[in-house]
Every structure is written in C-alpha cells, then in structure tokens.
Amino acid sequence: MTRTRRLLGLLFAAAGVCLLTGPAVVRALASEQSAGQEQAPSRREFEMTATDYRFTPDHLEVKQDELVKLTVRSTDVAYSVTIDEYRVSKRVPAGGEVTFEFRADRAGTFPFYSNLTSDSRHKAMKGSLVVRPR
C-alpha cells in the first residue's frame, strides 16, 4: 500500500511538472522552428518614367530574393520594358502605365530595354537592374 502511494505521488508530481513546464517547452520549440525558417521576402517598389526614348531612373538596385514591383509610365509614345533574365516583357501604352512584379532571385547586373521596333530610337533605351547577393 505504501509503495502504491509513493508511485501515485511520483506520478502526480511528474504530471504537475509537465503542466508547469509544458507551455515553456512548446514555446521554445516553436521559436527554434521559426528561427530556421526563411523570412518572407521584402518588397521594393519603383516608379519609372519612359519619355523621349529614355528610362528615368535607368538604374535600379535591389537585394537578392526581394520582390520587385515596378510601375512604368509613358508620357508620350508607347514603349516596352524587357528584362530577359527574368523573362519580363511588358508593353507601356502611349500616355499610360503598366505595373508588374517579379522576384529578384539571381544576383548580378541585368540590362533592361525597350524591345519595340516602331522607331529606331527604342534601341537606345537601356538601363540596368543590379541585384546584390544576400
């Protein structure tokens, strides 16, 4: 009978310890898991103007894995924005705008340009996207 009481006492004590320390253990394990997970990518937003066969600004800089949101406005004729390495090619209507997003998942310097052929001056429209490594 004494042995049974001791065993029950130990079981109750162990249960009490589990009840008291359980939430702390769960929080510690959860914080370890979230520390190992990657953070959601940040977003960079840019506004660019296409006018007189030029991009302004013609140089964009982001960090690798950032989401890039680019709004391009035309003040005169139709243009396009093409970034071959990211398979982006968007037409900007005359006097209009286009907005698009992509994830800058590769580090490097990537040219962008207008690929329209309606006027030879489109060939001069160039810029660069610089993606800095993490």
Q: What angle do CA 113, 80, 119 make, to 5 degrees?
A: 85
Q: How confident is the model at residue 122 (pLDDT cuts 50, 70, 90)?
A: very high
pLDDT tens digits along 5-24? 775 565 566 655 555 555 66
The pLDDT of residue 105: 96
Q: What is the spatial distance between Cα 98 and Cα 92, in angstroms, rounded to a whole number?
A: 6
Provide the pLDDT for residue 38. Answer: 58
pLDDT surpassing 90 at residue 29: no
Q: What is the C-alpha to C-alpha distance for residues 130 and 122, in angstroms, rounded to an integer?
A: 22
Cα separation, 102 vs 85, in Å, equals 11
| Total residues found in the chain within this entry | 134
Instruction: Please give the pLDDT value at position 17.
Output: 55
Domain edges within the chain: 1-37, 43-132
Q: Check whether the bond before 57 is cis (ω within 30° of 0).
A: yes
Q: Which fold has domain 43-132?
A: Immunoglobulin-like (2.60.40)
**Distance of alpha carbon 101 from alpha carbon 89, whole angstroms:** 11
* pLDDT tens digits, one per residue of 62-106: 999 999 999 999 999 999 999 999 999 999 999 999 999 999 999
Type of residue at 112: F
Secondary structure tally for the chain: helices H, strands E: 1, 9
Q: Give the mean pLDDT of the chain.
A: 85
pTM of the model: 0.69
Alpha-carbon gap, residue 110 to 127, rounded angstroms: 9
